[in-house]
Amino acid sequence: MHHNGSIVQRRPYPSPNPHVQLEEITYYSDGLKVKGLLAAPIAEGQYEGLLYLRGGIQHVGMVRPARVAQFASHGFIVFAPYYRGNRGGEGRDEFAGDDRQDAVNGVEVLKQHPMVDKERIHLFAFSRGGIMALWTAILRDDITSVVTWAGVSDVVFTYNERKDMRRMMKRVIGGTPNSMPEEYRDRTALFRVNEIDAPVLIIHGMRDVNVSYQQAVLLENALREHDRPYETWYFPAYTHFIPPVENARLVRELCEWMRKCT
């Protein structure tokens, strides 16, 4: 019997940054072998942990080594699960169904790293990763902070606003919000944000058409209603994608924000 988060294979992965070492990790999640990318600063030391929750599904929005290395270069041990059914991993990606356990169990992968501070584990999520991060923070009580950038917070809302994703969502989830309301409702974390103990930082471009700004507002409202600590960084001029220079500045600032969380 393999424990959730136990590592079965590691292989070196080419790193775009000379100060950061990358490895592709295969680990167990609900009995399935799932893969992800682990990045660590080469310099010895103790570092805070960061679970990087990617956006997209399957090959869309796949983990980018440069992005993971960027966070590691700010002094974090970073693990980015690909989620089940991706890149040779077993099972199938369910768009925040049972695959949310791949994020929950990814925390265990981080905690096994000899240089990680097990008491300081943060979640960083982009786009679809937002819903994965919210669930991870709901289902675990050892998370220090959550950053959701252009994050999905309501799967029904995503279905309604993204006509181009409906076929994929019907296939993956098994139907529509009308034919299978429970399946969609079960994926939406908004009903359980009262169980999130970690402070949440919501970053969103107000012109985002991939994941509308409304999803950030829904999350903000739910957190406020339950008196959960949160902060918002909204950008009136930006879409789903923020230009590289501004992006790099934001990463620096959010890394500082995470470090200050207690």
Instruction: Identify whether 225 is part of a domain.
Output: yes
Instruction: Pull the structure tokens for residue 217.
Output: 């507002």
The pLDDT of residue 120: 98
Nearest-angstrom CA–CA distance, 11 and 26? 9
In a domain, 25, yes or no: yes
What percent of the chain clears pLDDT 90, i.e. is strictly above it? 90
Confidence of residue 156 (pLDDT cuts 50, 70, 90): very high
| 157-204 tens-digit pLDDT | 999 999 999 999 999 999 999 999 999 999 999 999 999 999 999 999
pLDDT bucket at 96, cuts 50 / 70 / 90 = confident
The answer to whether the beta carbons of residues 82 and 91 sit under 8 Å apart is no
Domain contains 243 = yes
Within a domain: residue 2?
no
Is 10 a residue whose pLDDT tops 70? yes
Q: Mean pLDDT in the chain? A: 95
Give the DSSP H/E element, type plus range, for residue 51. Answer: strand 47-53
Residue 228 lies in a domain: yes
CATH number at residue 236: 3.40.50.1820
pLDDT of residue 58: 66
Encoding tokens for residue 63?
């983990």
Residue 216 included in any domain? yes
Retrieve residue 258's tokens. Answer: 């995470």
Overall average pLDDT of the 206-223 stretch: 97
Read off the pLDDT band of 95 (50, 70, 90).
confident
Q: What pLDDT sits at residue 55?
A: 80
Neighbouring residues of 103: CB distance < 8 A, sequence distance ≥ 6: 51, 53, 81, 83, 123, 132, 133, 135, 136
pLDDT at 169: 92
Tokens of 260: 């200050």
Q: Band the pLDDT of 209: cuts 50, 70, 90.
A: very high
- Biggest CA pair distance of the chain: 53
Angle formed by the axes of helices 129-139 and 100-111, nearest 10°:
70
Kindly report, residue by residue over 29-86, the tens digit of the pLDDT.
Answer: 999 999 999 999 999 999 999 999 998 776 666 788 999 999 999 999 999 999 999 8
Q: Model pTM?
A: 0.95
Question: 159: closest CA among 193, 137, 183?
Answer: 183
Instruction: Read off the DSSP letter of residue 193.
Output: G
Q: Mean pLDDT, to the nearest integer, of 133-157?
A: 97
Domain of residue 241, residue span = 7-260
Any idea which residues carry the catalytic annotation? 127, 240
Can you tell me the mean pLDDT for 218-247?
Answer: 96
pLDDT surpasses 70 at 1? no
* Structure tokens, 257: 């924000």
Number of domains in the chain: 1
Whether the predicted pLDDT of 228 surpasses 70: yes
What is the rounded CA–CA span in Å between residue 14 and residue 26? 16
